[in-house]
Structure 1
């Protein structure tokens, strides 16, 4: 420990201790030490305040206290010509990232480019790791995905060389996010996060801030991909020790979000509004998405209304595309879903589904413009919101698009309610509805999602009351449709039954006509639903 002239601990010693606390996830405690360090720096001649002010800004953001501060501005003002090389670069990077998040992208990139220029050729792997990590996250916020991925991989190489393992772990999180925005596939993001989590586990870094953040991100991917058993196993028992306030809030909301997906009520319903309000604006859009989804499924309408108001305020301000915009759209879509099917709304008129959809439609084009993926989960989310608000005769096309998107992005958990929404619009006896229900049932059974399985049974009960019966077909036609359902071609059916191909073709036409279906796939779906027909 270094002692200052007045006998107390020096500003530099306090800063180093604060940094250790911050990296272990104790951002609040780190703030307290840094306040002491700033006071000590005022008494120590020649001690730079610029890095102390920059650290304070970072700690405030990470501790979810407030983003309404000017510590980064102060840090820039405190920079002087003989400032140490490392100090100057760290201040430029942090201020640049903060400016982008605050809606000043030009100022932010100017500072960041200055930091990169100073770093190049320095031969300092530790410095490169820090600079390229912040550059990757800034470019990701601006939707510059290729540049972000390039910086992420540079940061990883430098981090492995310098031993900055926490930033290497963070690089996997950043790469997964940028890759997802390029391809739109939940599976792609999940694959990268698995590699990162294996790396963290090998180094014993799972309990760090970065390790826990990566674990929670992978859990969310698994939930979206309907791999609920693995998600439940990875989530494990409830966290008993803190990982920093952001991780604690995130884990609480992820647990509740998962329980709500499963149709279970958590033992303790979290105070959604308080948790979101405790976070900085940098993370609020993401946490709003989790909180609103959980509150909506738990039918906590008071929280839904309060959180919706906060999401609307975010939508009116600067949204660093694509991340914040995607989360706000998802949050507002959850608020729309919470009110669907209710006869009377108890929410403020500004939160009415049609009004919320208008906000979604306003921010969606700009947000989507910065996402490279041809299909992205948010496309399906918006289509589902449109379907819930639209008249029945117009809703089908929106459900169909949502189904297409969720299939392409491998968002299987989202796909199930979309399939059920579309099936509910089908006329009684429409074989297309059974095809949708068969697909939904296969996924829901794997998830063990009781609410969806109950809804499937309910929809089948309604369809069964006017379903075509086996009596509509002759014995020979029953044989043909049985082989058709098993995947045989007309030629194979002809050989099995000793008929000509032309005769089989004629039987198939009659089967489609008598059952009132549009194609062979729908006829196969009818056959598998018929039950006793197979025995006959």
Structure 2
């Protein structure tokens, strides 16, 4: 409002002076300085410095700080100082989620005299905007230039630029360029670096080693980054540092730690109003939840990330969340939702980019569900060109269990064999029972049908599968083992595994997979009807509590207030309750719970 009045002309200047006079110079420093600036025509070096100091740190909000710094640039009497303040204004606007405003301010800097020492900072911000909102391949070049400019004056910031450049080459599918990022980061590393600086070095070194298949060097560096991330305090504790540590945790397969770090980054970004980093933190949290087997939570996190990214104009981040939502829907065999999310991505993503690969993974899973094994295998094999560093290597590693499952139905499967070799080397370098279980399952699928090797690998996978994390994947292994036993003419042995798979899928609301387990049971000679499971077993704890409150007559708004949730979240959970219980209305839900209570009372008598 102050800025609008200032632009209205000089008629309001006396009013602004009066308002500045009644404001406390300490407690209301920024507001007072803004009023003084609105009352000033021309340049005023002292007032510009006051505005800059009052806005530092975004204490009055990043958007307000951006406006103050922009005005400080206008009041500056030195062009070089004005450029520094314009850059700070752009950085604050970016933190506030005002991507368009940040771009406009950066464009103004193109025509301004920028000191060579400042150009690296300009390129860092311009590259970050490109990474989140533009052409990632161009952003990586800009970020590498930034790192080169900053290396002599600010090693920590130069390493930040290299981390971002690494993200950009991975997003674009140009992993072969990560080797250069790794070499530059190694040159910047020093003994006894501060924890936040060492963390950045470890992340780049670890990911570079992972991409070249050197897991012996990758593991220690990435685990060190995770440890450092958990120890950050004070000014070193930032959403940027925490997301770097979370990314390291995902690559080295310490999913619980990665989830905690990403969650902490998201909370910190929200608390500080740093919207520029929030979507990235939520992206990493969703991936951690995927590996932890919490698919519903991952979908909710991705929906949240999508809303944040769209509000901030971060189209690349939005497309990653859309891709993740498409994959999660496809895994649940929810064709309509998966295809809708893919359509929302549109034609914008470059072939080979991460959103493009996630969409391909989702389509391949839908092919697999429908029995189009050759099509599924072709899609998944095309995600990356192994040995070249091109394509989405990390996405293909995540999708390898689906590639092997599809290829197991084909006579010729060199791409799956190569991908499985890469997956095996990674899985064996981690301490993750889930990764090793998936590796064993893959080997069971490519072993000769009915062989002792296939049975041994399936049993190894089931032994490694946790009973808590990865419940869906355990059920998939049970289903595939049951299919193997039935087709090897051992129907009696198959039934126990198929029953277990069917029950778990029903509990998870994965109806299509439950139907497949039911069909296998019937093929194994068993007559099966609908599962007779109580609501307490069909629903998650939160879903059950919401259903109970609905049955008691509470409205969604009342439930949201009592459970400290948003009404949107209550709506989402209630739709899932209806789906899992096979009902269509609140009235049916009330009847279902009344019938269940009656049945429970009768059994007690």
Deviating more after overlay: 452-461 vs 168-177: 168-177
Structure 1 match to 2:321: 251
Q: Tell me what 1:334 maps to.
A: 402
Of 495, 512, 515, which aligns to 1:454?
Answer: 515
Q: Distance in 2 between matches of 1:116 and 1:109?
A: 11
Which residue number corresponds to residue 127 of structure 2? Answer: 57
Deviations 1:245-295 (A, max 9, x none): 343122212222222233323345233796697279785697468545555
C-alpha contact 2:503 2:514 (8 A) present in aligned 1 = no
**Among candidates 365, 372, 376, match of residue 430 of structure 2:** 372
Matches within 5 A, 1:91-490: 91-95=158-162, 98=165, 102-103=175-176, 108-109=181-182, 111-117=184-190, 120=193, 129=196, 131-141=197-207, 142-143=209-210, 144-155=218-229, 157-158=231-232, 160-162=233-235, 164-167=237-240, 169-170=242-243, 173-174=246-247, 176-177=249-250, 180-181=253-254, 189-190=255-256, 193-194=259-260, 197=263, 200-201=266-267, 204-205=270-271, 208-228=275-295, 230=297, 239-240=306-307, 242=310, 243=312, 244-267=314-337, 269-271=340-342, 278=349, 283=354, 287=358, 291=362, 294-296=365-367, 307-308=379-380, 310-313=382-385, 315-318=386-389, 325-335=393-403, 337=405, 354-364=413-423, 366-368=425-427, 371-373=429-431, 375-377=433-435, 379-389=436-446, 391-394=448-451, 395-407=454-466, 410-427=469-486, 430-464=491-525
The alignment's TM-score, normalised by the length of structure 2, stands at 0.57
Cα distance change of structure 1 residues 253 and 95 upon mapping to structure 2, 3 Å threshold: closer
The structural deviation recorded for 1:442 is: 3.7
- Which sections of structure 2, spanning at least 5 residues, go unmatched? 1-69, 211-217, 529-605
1:191–1:63 distance in 2 versus 1, CA, 3 Å: same
- CA-atom RMSD, angstroms? 4.7
Three-state SS of the structure 2 residue aligned to 1:420 is helix
Larger relative contact order, structure 1 or 2 (CA cutoff 8 Å, min sep 6)? 1
Deviation at 1:365, TM superposition (A): 5.3
Q: Between Structure 1 and Structure 2, how many residues are aligned?
A: 431
- SS of corresponding position for 1:278: coil
Residues 413-466 of structure 1 show CA distances to partners (whole Å, capped at 9, x for unaligned) of: 122222111111224564321221233234223202212222222222222369
Report if aligned partners of 2:239, 2:268 keep a CA contact under 8 Å in 1: no
In 1, are the aligned partners of 2:199 and 2:224 still within 8 Å (CA)?
A: no
Q: Point out the more displaced range, 43-52 or 417-426.
A: 43-52
Q: Contact 1:103–1:318 (CA<8 Å) still a contact in 2?
A: yes
How far is the alpha carbon of 1:354 from its aligned partner? 0.9
Q: Contact 1:112 / 1:135 at 8 angstroms: preserved in 2? A: yes
What is the aligned partner in structure 2 of residue 13 from structure 1? 85
